[in-house]
Amino acid sequence: MDKDFLWWRDGVIYQIYPRSFKDGNNDGIGDLAGITQKLDYLVDLGIDAIWLSPIYLSPDFDFGYDVADYQRIDPKFGTMDDFENLLQNAHSRGIRLIMDLVLNHTSNQHLWFQQSSSSKDNPYRDWYIWRDKSKSGGVPNNWQSRFGGSGWEWDEKTQQYYFHLFFKEQPDLNWNNPKVHSAILEMIEFWLQKGVDGFRLDVFNAYFKSQRFENNPVKLGLAGFDRYQHLYDINQPEMLSFLSKLRILLNSYPESYSAGETFETSTQMVASYISENSLHATFDFSFMKNRFKADGFYKSIQNWESLLQDKKWPNYVLNNHDVPRSATRYIRGEKDDRLKILAAMLLTLRGTPFVYYGEEIGMRDIPVTRKSDVKDPVGKHYWPFYKGRDGCRSPMQWEETQYGGFSDVEPWMPVHENFVFRNVKSQLENPDSLLNTYRKLIEIRKNTIALQKGMYLPLTFEPKRLLAYMRKTSDHEVVVALNFSNRRVGFVVSFSILNQNWSLLYSNKRDQKPKIIDRKITLEPNEILLLEHRL
């Protein structure tokens, strides 16, 4: 084992959407006690940390991404005791816990906003972004809401507009007010003192807005939010001074971690926020936009690697609570071959793998067919052009019993009907299942320092079908070759591989090391091949 193991760099992080993981008290909604019950499952899977989507008090307008009190647990998830119990049980099993911080905005039911909107001279007035109407009597400028329409909402009572980047029920905090910084940092320290190991920062690069409130320039040909060049409402330079204060705080709690969700930004910008004075990690979402072709993934990896170099630590993510699941993006039907290839890629790259609950059993999105069933406010708003994010938020499928073993009563969101055969229990029993592929690959990663920390070197690659690379430390090399196609494909190997004594580390299609004929290894359809060599 690795003596120099750092959990967030060398481990695997698992995202839980708490409403949908496990219902501990059978009211139909997943909760903290449910997660605690399932910790041994996560240990067995081999993960090192959990990121919990928000569990704070929330009216659930945006399902927890609208926080009414950052220091209270929402009763539907349990109590602070339940939280501490989860944290302690996770830690005693060697699992770290990451909380989700939603700091760009609060719920309109947060006390700060209730105060702020009560009168113009309330001490909390400048905790949010209030502006007079423009000279012509309309909105202060052209800033938009990501969820549709102007970002400005008129408040009758105090005769000013407030700004909201998302829905009007999610007013944006005024980050140009230092009191906001202090309150937020104090709140973060509250969780650090409880023993929380790190944070995922929701849309952190949108916290600051230009204090001059300039109109964003308009781009031609696009509509809505995309019609604007977001020069003044995101990525403001003042951001960096707050991130450095945050980092100083985090550094005083050894091994604590921050991963930022970057909003509407180039990968280059995303990479720039990782540094010793700002965040440990940021997410590049380009994997989620790729088609199922080796070359698209190859380009995403090259781009991310070349921006980060060996100074910054990458991470990789195929799924989260905002996008259709990879199984639904890439597959019609129930075959899992493609998901095994993706699992192998995710778990053998240089960078922290993030796994979204249910990804390891290949959960598919639930179909959303009627507007009246939609839960996600974004889906309600854009129906039928966009049906929202309910699809990827359905209950975890534990077993073949009613409601998939998620709850004894009807869950808040329907369970996918494939739960009768696609569930944790049946996949644990099947050695070739996707779940066992994840388990095996995580175990291999854990026991192979070259796969955790080694350099990434791209190898020959047959566009579209074959992705191959080497992971390398001073005394160990691992070659990863992934056949993205359902046909055989030739992998032309280099001299170093030809001449040395390589052995088979893993394959889903063979148990002996492959023959090299005419400098080529023939990979089986959708084969994962891992070869290793000690120097």
As annotated, the active-site residues are: 202, 261
Q: Taking CB under 5 A as the criterion, which residues in 155-174 touch Ca ion? A: none
In angstroms, the CA 68 to CA 106 distance is 6
**Is residue 27 at the binding interface for Ca ion, with CB under 5 A as the rule?**
yes
Decide whether 101 or 480 has the Cβ nearer to ligand GLC. Answer: 101
Helix (H, G, I), strand (E, B) or coil at 268: helix
Beta strands in 114-155 (DSSP E): 130-131, 152-155
Least CB distance to Ca ion at residue 22 (A): 9
Number of residues in the chain: 535
**Judged by CB under 5 A, which stretch of 23-31, 286-294, 324-332, 371-379 contacts Ca ion?**
23-31
In angstroms, the CA 430 to CA 442 distance is 17
Helix (H) or strand (E) holding 482: strand 476-483
**Judged by CB under 5 A, which stretch of 25-33, 41-49, 86-94, 119-127 contacts Ca ion?**
25-33
- Report the partner that residue 102 touches, choosing among Ca ion, ligand GLC, none (CB closer than 5 to 8 A by kind): ligand GLC
Decide whether 145 or 216 has the Cβ nearer to ligand GLC. Answer: 145
Beta strands in 335-418 (DSSP E): 352-356
Nearest to 463 by CA among 211, 240, 293, 308: 293
Least CB distance to ligand GLC at residue 97 (A): 18
Decide whether 24 or 260 has the Cβ nearer to ligand GLC. Answer: 260
**Is residue 31 at the binding interface for Ca ion, with CB under 5 A as the rule?**
yes
**Size of residue set near Ca ion by CB under 5 A:** 5
Decide whether 336 or 390 has the Cβ nearer to ligand GLC. Answer: 390
Least CB distance to ligand GLC at residue 488 (A): 40
The pairing of beta strand 352-356 with beta strand 315-317: parallel
**Judged by CB under 5 A, which stretch of 28-36, 53-61, 92-100, 190-198 contacts Ca ion?**
28-36
- Report the partner that residue 27 touches, choosing among ligand GLC, Ca ion, none (CB closer than 5 to 8 A by kind): Ca ion
**Is residue 25 at the binding interface for Ca ion, with CB under 5 A as the rule?**
yes
> What is the 8-class DSSP label of residue 274?
B
**Is residue 29 at the binding interface for Ca ion, with CB under 5 A as the rule?**
yes
- Report the partner that residue 31 touches, choosing among ligand GLC, Ca ion, none (CB closer than 5 to 8 A by kind): Ca ion
Least CB distance to Ca ion at residue 398 (A): 15
Give me the residues that bind ligand GLC (CB under 6 A), please.
Answer: 62, 65, 102, 166, 202-203, 261, 321-322
Residues whose CB is less than 8 angstroms from the CB of residue 319 and which lie 6 or more positions away in sequence, other chains included: 15, 288, 325, 326, 355, 356, 359, 392
**Is residue 60 at the binding interface for Ca ion, with CB under 5 A as the rule?**
no
Least CB distance to ligand GLC at residue 493 (A): 42
- Report the partner that residue 23 touches, choosing among Ca ion, ligand GLC, none (CB closer than 5 to 8 A by kind): Ca ion
> What is the 8-class DSSP label of residue 363?
P
Nearest to 247 by CA among 315, 183, 188: 188
**Is residue 37 at the binding interface for Ca ion, with CB under 5 A as the rule?**
no
- Report the partner that residue 110 touches, choosing among Ca ion, ligand GLC, none (CB closer than 5 to 8 A by kind): none
In angstroms, the CA 373 to CA 388 distance is 11
Least CB distance to Ca ion at residue 20 (A): 11
Nearest to 358 by CA among 298, 301, 404, 402: 404
Tokens of 300: 């995403």
Tokens of 347: 């778990």
**Judged by CB under 5 A, which stretch of 4-12, 20-28, 47-55, 515-523 contacts Ca ion?**
20-28
Least CB distance to ligand GLC at residue 56 (A): 12
Closest residue to ligand GLC: CB criterion? 65
Give yes or no for a contact between 201 and 261, defined as CB atoms under 8 angstroms apart.
Answer: yes
- Report the partner that residue 287 touches, choosing among Ca ion, ligand GLC, none (CB closer than 5 to 8 A by kind): none
Count of C-beta atoms within a 10 Å radius of residue 138 = 12
Least CB distance to ligand GLC at residue 168 (A): 13
CA atoms within 13 A on the CB side of 306: 8
| Strand partners of residue 150 | 144
**Judged by CB under 5 A, which stretch of 18-26, 118-126, 162-170, 398-406 contacts Ca ion?**
18-26
Question: Can you spell out the DSSP letters for 5-70?
Answer: --HHHHS-EEEE-GGGT--SSSSSS--HHHHHHTHHHHHHHT--EEEEPP-EE---TTTTSS-SEE
Helix (H, G, I), strand (E, B) or coil at 126: helix
**Is residue 82 at the binding interface for Ca ion, with CB under 5 A as the rule?**
no
- Residues making contact with Ca ion (CB under 5 A): 23, 25, 27, 29, 31
